[in-house]
Amino acid sequence: DVKNWRDCQQSPGFLAPERAWMDEVVGNMGYVDALREVSREGDQFSWWPDSEQAEMLNLGYRFDYQILTPGMRRSVRSARLPRQPRFSQHAPLIVDYDWILSV
C-alpha cells in the first residue's frame, strides 16, 4: 500500500519485483495479511518520509505486516496502525488475536 502509487512505481518498497513477491505470498502461496482480514480501508500506512508535511498529508507507505497462515485468519480480532504517539517514521502494526493460551 502506498499513497500516490502511480508516482511511486520506481521507488524502493514499491518496485515491480517487490509487489510481485507480495502478490505471490498473499495470492498463490495462500498466506494472509492480518490487517486486511479485518479492515479494507485505504490509506492505512506504517511509514512516512521524514517531513511533517508528508505525515500531515498522509503521504505514506505500508511496510509493516503480520503475515499469517490461512488457518490463523479467523483468529484475528482487530488490527490497527496507531499514528500517535510517534517515536519514529514507523507506526506499529498492532494485531489482537483470539487465542486460547495453554501451559
Is the model more confident about 92 or about 55?
92
77 is a domain residue: yes
103 is a domain residue: no
Cis-peptide, bond into residue 85, ω within 30° of zero? yes
102 is a domain residue: no
88 is a domain residue: yes
Is the model more confident about 102 or about 43?
43
Rounded CA gap, 59 and 69, in Å?
Answer: 30
74 is a domain residue: yes
Q: Give yes or no for a contact between 35 and 65, defined as CB atoms under 8 angstroms apart.
A: yes
43 is a domain residue: yes
Total count of domains within the chain: 1
pLDDT tens track for 10-23:
877 778 888 888 88
Domain coverage including residue 74: 5-97
Look-up of cell digits 485505504: 42
pLDDT tens track for 63-94:
899 999 999 999 999 999 998 887 888 899 99
The model's pTM: 0.80
pLDDT at 66: 95
When pLDDT is averaged across residues 47-76 and rounded to a whole number, the result is: 88
Q: Residue 97: which residues within 8 A CB-CB, separation 6 or more?
A: 72, 75, 76, 77
28 is a domain residue: yes
76 is a domain residue: yes
